[in-house]
Structure 1
Amino acid sequence: MSVATRTVLMPPVPNREDIDATWKYLEAGISKIMINLQEGIDMQTYMGVYTAVHNFCTSHKAVSNTSHGSIGSTHRGAHLLGEDLYQNLMTYLSNYLKGLVEISKTHTDEALLTFYIREWDRYTTAAKYINHLFRYLNRHWVKRELDEGKKNIYDVYTLHLVQWRTTLFSEVHEKVMDAVLKMVEKQRHGETIEHGQIKSIVNSFVSLGLDEADPTKSTLDVYRFNFERPFLEATKLFYQAESKEFVAENSIVEYMKKAEIRLDEEEERVAMYLHPDIILPLRKTCNNALISDHSLILRDEFQVLLDNDRYEDMQRMYNLLSRIPDGLEPLRAKFEAHVRKAGLAAVAKVAVDADKLEPKVYVDALLEIHTQYQGLVKQAFKDEPEFTRSLDNACREFVNRNQICKSGSNKSPELLAKYADTLLKKSASGAEENDLEATLVQIMTVFKYIEDKDVFQKFYSRMLARRLVHTSSSSDDAETSMISKLKEACGYEYTNKLQRMFQDMQISKDLNSGFKEFEAGLIEPEDAKPVDASYAILGTGFWPLNPPNTDFTPPAEISKAYGRFQTFYGQKHSGRKLTWLWQLCKGEVKANYCKNTKTPYTFQVSTYQMAILLLFNESDKNSYDDIKKATQLQADVLDPALGIFVKAKVLLSNPDGEKPGPGNMYHLNYDFKSKKIRVNLNIPVKSEQKQEVDETHKTIEEDRKLLMQSAIVRIMKARKKMKHTQLVSECINQIRTRFVPKIPDIKKCIDILLEKEYLERLEDDELGYLA
């Protein structure tokens, strides 16, 4: 008859003085619990066993026969009898478990697991009952032994676990683990298994982790050594073999899909039946077998995916390689090189003629590449900071060093400033305010990558000045928004002058209101109606504007008007000197002389052009020399102005087609016709534009020298003494937010400051500050 079906009958409780009979009674009770627990225990048997344990530990006869030593007889006798009971129970459990070991040999694989789990459940449930029935032993003898520091003494429940571990587990755990691994492999091959069995095995292994030093504590040592370690080894071997075979027969993209599925399955496996403690080492094992071992071929495929814009597959590769140490670094390097190459190619595509390149076309080419790869970083690389840094590095390279910016020119900031100018002008394609704001944000995206931010500032401030003076801004809100963005990016100093320009324009509005009242109070002849003019007073230190580069005699009508304003301004601000910027002045004149038109044309002209046209009020024809003498304009200003009039057929030249110059005669064209009533003749001349660009670059170079010198003085004033190389390095660090200074330029500035005796040379290549 097998152990599982043996029936145990309980005799009556023996006399407490008969120790042997008492143990036999207890043994029968324990056996009934161990073997037939499912049938239940009646209250009489339960109380009988409990009473027998108490009797065994407190038998008076035993006390008198075993008392000795200096300890009181009752205490010592109970001590010895408790030890006997403990030893008898341990021997019983050992024999019981040896019987199970023998039966286990008849089972293999899943049958062995079924047997192990069934017996473990029966055994641990019985252990709880027996532990309760032996409370007296736990409370007195076991506690006393532990208090005295005895080793290898456990409460009755723990004793059950220790005996299972030393007697049965040590014999069967390898076979049990083999059966578990076979089941897991079946599941990995797609078969359905009874995973609850594995969970029960895991729980059993965990329960057997007892701390030898402190039995009240548990450890995972048994589980880790006997379950986790072989499980991880089997996992590694399985995936190494499978992945090697799969890679040999399939594409890399298909392999990545397979690897993703396998990794997810292992995560589910942990949640389903494994202990949570295994999650990290299991991930590491799977990552090594499925990813690290194939990282080279994965990275080689990355360039192919980049070239073909395979976002989803790149995301898959990112997710896989992010699981291993330094898995993504080679991808970031390839990504950066790819974006830089794409940016350079995009610029080369639009840079057929650099001189005729439209700012919008150039900036759009830069933005297109940035937008494309920013989307890739967001979608495939989860906006990871390191990939964002790689994108920024690549964009910085192709924005500052491309075909348009050959030999270190400052073309990118110049073109960006010009694009901003076209957007912020009234003539800018009538874009909606929301669209304009979005485009300004895009401009700031490119601005972020520009190294020579001082170049952008110079061009932007000059163009802003013109927009404000000519009242050609699309809106004050848009202008303010752009300045706020620049201030946020570069700080208060960067936009200080731009904001002061706005303040000057506001002050000028109030000044003009006061001038109108002043002018209204003047007594004028009825036929001398004053010119309707407005004036802008611009602070010399804030506006990037130069005095006129030509002499000029304004016409009488203009002279009277500005004379009145000077009188008014002198009364309000005595001692201030006004320098008239005639090259920026403009106005409108009505052409009342034209035939065949009901409504007279209005010519929009510069003040220089106005002075030329008003000469034709006195005479229908004027010679080149007469015009030059009357206006005092230099040829480089006069010739383009006359050329525009001739081209527009406002004036007729004699001889026809000749360039303006001495000997030419100009006639007023009474048959002038235009589709527009308002005719704009104030058109910028290319030579003037080029000259202004050259002047701007010259100003930038001068400002840079001053900026470097002030930085050097500031550093030396704080440090007093400094090595030459350290000073150069510190100077670069302080200035690089505005532009990247060249080392030879810094050295020249140091030499200038040495000559000016701001600095002195000391020993060991050291420089000193002279107060």
Structure 2
Amino acid sequence: MAGNAGNNQRIIPLDEGWDDEIKAKAIDRLEGLLNGDLTGSIFGPKEYVQIYTTCYDMCTQRSPYNWSRELYQRHGETIERYLTTNVLPALRDKTSQGGTILLSELKHRWQNHQIMNKWLKKFFTYLDRYYVKHHSLPTLSEAGLRCFRTNVYDEIKGDTTSAIHGLINEEREGKIIDKSLVKSVVELYESMGMGTLDAYNTDLEEPLLTSTREYYAKKREDWINDSTPDYLIKAEDALDAERKRVEDYLHTSSEAKILKVVEEEILERVEMVLLEKEGSGCRALLQNDKSEDLQRMYRLFGRLENGLNPMANILQNFITSMGEDIINRRKARLDSGEKDKNDDPKFVKSIMALHEKYLGVVKDDFGGNSLFQKGLKDAFVEIVNKNVGQFTNAELMSTFCDRILKSGGEKLSEKEVDANLEKIVQLFSYLTDKDMFAEIYRNQLAKRLLSQRSTSNDAEKSMIAKLKMQCGTQFTSKMEGMLNDLAVGAGQRSEFGNQLRTVDTKLDFSVQVLTTGFWPTYKSPAIALTPQMSKCMDIFKDWHDQKHQKRKLGWVFSQGNASVRGIFGKKSYDLQVATLQAVALDAMNGGATMTFTELATKLNVEENILKPLMHSLSCGKYKVIKKTPASNKINTTDSFTANEKFSSNMRKIRIPMASLDGQLNTKRVEEDRTIAIEAAIVRIMKARKTLQHQQLLSEVLAQLNFFSPNPRLVKKRIEALIEREYLERSADNTQVYNYLA
């Protein structure tokens, strides 16, 4: 009775407990139910407790009657026997009957195995709690899985993997398959990894990737004869289908790998063929504004590493060629005899429209991607800096601004003016010689402001603000100063007007005081003014000197304007003219006749100034002065008198005069560039103290963002700074410079 630990419990022998209780009442019944020989529920609570108790008792009897080890062993043998005698033959029998039948059988057998494993674990729970834990053995569930893997899975996986691949390919071809069946079998592969995806990856995924590659390699050959858009529609559908396939019945970790294989086969291997396909490639899609196809192309090739680079290059080359077409059309117009002017709105509008269109394409079709933005920028840098004729694109662009900002130019609403200015500033950002544009723009702005021909002060400020955003305060400070002069001057003119009313003068006279540094430099001939004009000037000078004693006044008659009352016959006209024209008209007053030489002496002006002056009055649209002999050119032998037969339908007449100053003072621009280069050199050397020539050169070029100087010019400025002892050459190396404080 020692083995009973002092109680009356009967010892259960191993074979008796196994055969009569466990096998007969549990295992045989379980196998019968799984084989479909029996019906009804598997085990009720009473039956289960009875079997569990038998197992418990056999495991808790004292040695040598503790059957834990033997029961653990027989648990494994039971599963192995059932798998090898029932399950494996049934599966082998189905291998030749088609993929679906085999997979259905495997699904059924796997579900049965899970049921068997569950119940055996419940019966032998005590083994798991103590014997397995104490001896560090696989748990009963794990042991059951291992047994299935060794005896069934390893034997049948080659056939089942092929069956799954077959069903997947059928689905790819449009057939309907049992997705839930495939999903169940895939879960079996996952379970066989014992907590990892090793079995799934090795036994199912890797072969699937290989078969997927083979499948799409064939598809690629079938599709490649299609147009690029048609090919890409099929490619996108295929990728969407593969993504859905993973979602339906494969493990999520497979998605990236499968899609990569598909991308490599149907996109990467034929990218350049598709992009360059005649009539349907990227260039053709751009040419024909195929937005939807371009977006698809961008989406698909964006999936590849560096897949967008060739597309961006095609875009750049395409835009460049479109820009060259516009430039060539301008060249053809000039070659055919059209007069070359600094005003070519048709050309500027064409470039603006091209930029607006492809800015939209980059934003809408290519998602604003930086590669395409760079392609657009590089294309327009090339286009905008390619000049045709004697006028640079910088001058044409500035003149276009002048056209829409001055009265009598383009008839546009405020909104349209702002939109056009925005587009011009976008083109301006691509100019390499921004300082050249600034100089031209400043001259034209000055002309608009001084002749009071600016349509809107707000529009002028808006344009300057846009340029300031692009280039900073330094770039626009003079322009802002010009506007500020006019704003301040309005108050001064009002104050002086009150002063003038206290003096007996016959003229309505006002003066605009300008700050020399802000405004362009103008030729100002010392013309002999009328006595009334001189008197008014003296009054203003006295008044101004009292208010601003430290300021020096200088008069610029070439920029003044006047309104002259002219009576021809019985009809009077208001002539809107420049100050110089007004003085000349006054000299011809009362019907006087004067030769060119007499007039030059009387007015105290040189020949090169008097010629354009008299040309405007006697050879233009409104010939208020009669020239003898009649011709369209002023000669020093001509004589002049008032044109008594002059008449016009308009009472108020504006008589323009050619500017005495050239449109662009390149000398001033060059001087400013010299200063900017030297300032950059000194700034860099002051910070770095010592620098090698090539490094200094590259840093200077990087800092100068208003223009791109020739490296030889930079070298020349370095030499000048060495002469002036700002820098010195290193004694050890002539290619190295030292900063001299």
TM-score, L = length of structure 2: 0.91
1:757 aligned partner: 725
Bigger CA drift: 219-228 or 30-39? 30-39
- Secondary structure of the structure 2 residue equivalent to 1:590: strand
Query: What is the 5 A alignment of 1:650-729?
Result: 650-657=624-631, 659-684=633-658, 688=660, 691-694=661-664, 696-729=665-698
Alpha-carbon spacing, 1:171–1:670, altered in 2? closer, same or farther (3 Å): same
Residue 56 of structure 2 corresponds to residue 54 of structure 1: yes
2:740 aligned partner: 770
Bigger CA drift: 614-623 or 755-764? 614-623
Distance (whole Å) between structure 1 residues aligned to residue 696 and residue 363 of structure 2:
41
Contact 1:359/1:415 (8 A) holds in 2:
yes
Contact 1:642/1:660 (8 A) holds in 2:
yes
1:7 aligned partner: none
Deviations 1:536-555 (A, max 9, x none): 2111122223351x221111
Aligned match of 1:640 in 603, 608, 612? 612
Bigger CA drift: 462-471 or 739-748? 462-471
Once superposed, what is the RMSD of the aligned Cα atoms?
2.2
Instruction: Give the letter aligned to residue 164 of structure 1.
Output: F
Distance (whole Å) between structure 1 residues aligned to residue 389 and residue 17 of structure 2:
105
Alpha-carbon spacing, 1:745–1:196, altered in 2? closer, same or farther (3 Å): same
Alpha-carbon spacing, 1:52–1:416, altered in 2? closer, same or farther (3 Å): same
Residue 419 of structure 2 corresponds to residue 448 of structure 1: no
Alpha-carbon spacing, 1:30–1:469, altered in 2? closer, same or farther (3 Å): farther
Alpha-carbon spacing, 1:157–1:442, altered in 2? closer, same or farther (3 Å): same
Aligned match of 2:323 in 331, 339, 343? 343
Distance (whole Å) between structure 1 residues aligned to residue 342 and residue 577 of structure 2:
28
2:310 aligned partner: 330
Distance (whole Å) between structure 1 residues aligned to residue 582 and residue 652 of structure 2:
15
Aligned match of 1:208 in 182, 192, 197? 192
Q: Any gaps of 5 or more consecutive residues in structure 1?
A: 1-13, 67-76, 147-152, 211-217
- Secondary structure of the structure 1 residue equivalent to 2:562: strand
Distance (whole Å) between structure 1 residues aligned to residue 302 and residue 565 of structure 2:
73
Aligned match of 1:181 in 156, 165, 188? 165
Q: What is the CA-CA distance between 1:310 and the residue it aligns to? A: 4.2
- Secondary structure of the structure 2 residue equivalent to 1:768: strand
Distance (whole Å) between structure 1 residues aligned to residue 239 and residue 275 of structure 2:
19
Instruction: Give the letter aligned to residue 315 of structure 1.
Output: Q
Q: What is the CA-CA distance between 1:165 and the residue it aligns to? A: 0.9
Identity %: 29
Alpha-carbon spacing, 1:649–1:401, altered in 2? closer, same or farther (3 Å): closer
Aligned match of 1:470 in 451, 456, 472? 451
Aligned match of 2:87 in 80, 84, 100? 100
Q: What is the CA-CA distance between 1:201 and the residue it aligns to? A: 0.8
Deviations 1:225-248 (A, max 9, x none): 11111111111111112322333x
Bigger CA drift: 375-384 or 49-58? 375-384
Q: What is the CA-CA distance between 1:259 and the residue it aligns to? A: 2.1
Contact 1:469/1:584 (8 A) holds in 2:
yes
Aligned match of 2:376 in 387, 391, 399? 391
Distance (whole Å) between structure 2 residues aligned to residue 507 and residue 320 of structure 1:
60
Query: What is the 5 A alignment of 1:261-300?
Result: 261-300=237-276
Contact 2:384/2:393 (8 A) holds in 1:
yes
Instruction: Give the letter aligned to residue 645 of structure 1.
Output: L
Q: What is the CA-CA distance between 1:404 and the residue it aligns to? A: 4.8
Alpha-carbon spacing, 1:586–1:64, altered in 2? closer, same or farther (3 Å): closer
Alpha-carbon spacing, 1:327–1:663, altered in 2? closer, same or farther (3 Å): closer
Q: What is the CA-CA distance between 1:334 and the residue it aligns to? A: 2.8
Q: What is the CA-CA distance between 1:477 and the residue it aligns to? A: 1.3
- Secondary structure of the structure 2 residue equivalent to 1:560: helix
- Secondary structure of the structure 2 residue equivalent to 1:417: helix
Residue 703 of structure 2 corresponds to residue 731 of structure 1: no
Instruction: Give the letter aligned to residue 542 of structure 2.
Output: T
- Secondary structure of the structure 2 residue equivalent to 1:276: coil
Query: What is the 5 A alignment of 1:198-597?
Result: 198-210=182-194, 218-247=195-224, 250-301=226-277, 302=281, 303-351=283-331, 352-353=333-334, 355-356=340-341, 358-404=343-389, 411-520=392-501, 522-524=502-504, 528-529=505-506, 531-548=507-524, 550-591=525-566, 593-597=567-571
Deviations 1:665-705 (A, max 9, x none): 322223321121110013335xx4xx5135x1121112111
Residue 152 of structure 2 corresponds to residue 168 of structure 1: yes
Distance (whole Å) between structure 1 residues aligned to residue 88 and residue 261 of structure 2:
34
Distance (whole Å) between structure 2 residues aligned to residue 382 and residue 285 of structure 1:
25
Alpha-carbon spacing, 1:123–1:435, altered in 2? closer, same or farther (3 Å): same
Distance (whole Å) between structure 2 residues aligned to residue 645 and residue 484 of structure 1:
39
Contact 1:721/1:769 (8 A) holds in 2:
yes
Contact 1:34/1:123 (8 A) holds in 2:
no
Distance (whole Å) between structure 2 residues aligned to residue 308 and residue 566 of structure 1:
67
1:11 aligned partner: none
Alpha-carbon spacing, 1:300–1:272, altered in 2? closer, same or farther (3 Å): same
Alpha-carbon spacing, 1:733–1:35, altered in 2? closer, same or farther (3 Å): farther
Q: What is the CA-CA distance between 1:286 and the residue it aligns to? A: 0.8
Aligned match of 1:156 in 125, 133, 140? 140
1:72 aligned partner: none
Contact 1:761/1:767 (8 A) holds in 2:
yes
Q: What is the CA-CA distance between 1:626 and the residue it aligns to? A: 3.2
Contact 2:342/2:395 (8 A) holds in 1:
no
1:26 aligned partner: 22
Q: What is the CA-CA distance between 1:328 and the residue it aligns to? A: 2.8
Q: What is the CA-CA distance between 1:307 and the residue it aligns to? A: 4.9
Instruction: Give the letter aligned to residue 65 of structure 1.
Output: P
The alignment of Structure 1 onto Structure 2 pairs a total of residues equal to 709
1:630 aligned partner: 602
Contact 1:34/1:122 (8 A) holds in 2:
no
- Secondary structure of the structure 1 residue equivalent to 2:340: helix
Q: What is the CA-CA distance between 1:93 and the residue it aligns to? A: 0.7
Distance (whole Å) between structure 1 residues aligned to residue 81 and residue 632 of structure 2:
127
Bigger CA drift: 410-419 or 266-275? 410-419
Contact 1:344/1:403 (8 A) holds in 2:
no
Instruction: Give the letter aligned to residue 372 of structure 1.
Output: K
Contact 1:350/1:361 (8 A) holds in 2:
no
Contact 1:16/1:22 (8 A) holds in 2:
no
TM-score, L = length of structure 1: 0.88
Distance (whole Å) between structure 2 residues aligned to residue 319 and residue 191 of structure 1:
28
Contact 1:381/1:387 (8 A) holds in 2:
yes
Deviations 1:628-652 (A, max 9, x none): 2222122222122212221322111
- Secondary structure of the structure 1 residue equivalent to 2:410: coil
- Secondary structure of the structure 1 residue equivalent to 2:202: helix
Q: What is the CA-CA distance between 1:438 and the residue it aligns to? A: 0.8
- Secondary structure of the structure 2 residue equivalent to 1:546: coil
Q: What is the CA-CA distance between 1:486 and the residue it aligns to? A: 0.9
Instruction: Give the letter aligned to residue 663 of structure 2.
Output: V
Instruction: Give the letter aligned to residue 343 of structure 1.
Output: G
Bigger CA drift: 273-282 or 467-476? 467-476
Alpha-carbon spacing, 1:280–1:747, altered in 2? closer, same or farther (3 Å): same
Contact 1:483/1:498 (8 A) holds in 2:
yes
Instruction: Give the letter aligned to residue 189 of structure 1.
Output: E
- Secondary structure of the structure 1 residue equivalent to 2:253: helix
Aligned match of 1:121 in 111, 122, 127? 111
Bigger CA drift: 610-619 or 95-104? 610-619
Deviations 1:14-49 (A, max 9, x none): 965233232232233144345527732212111112
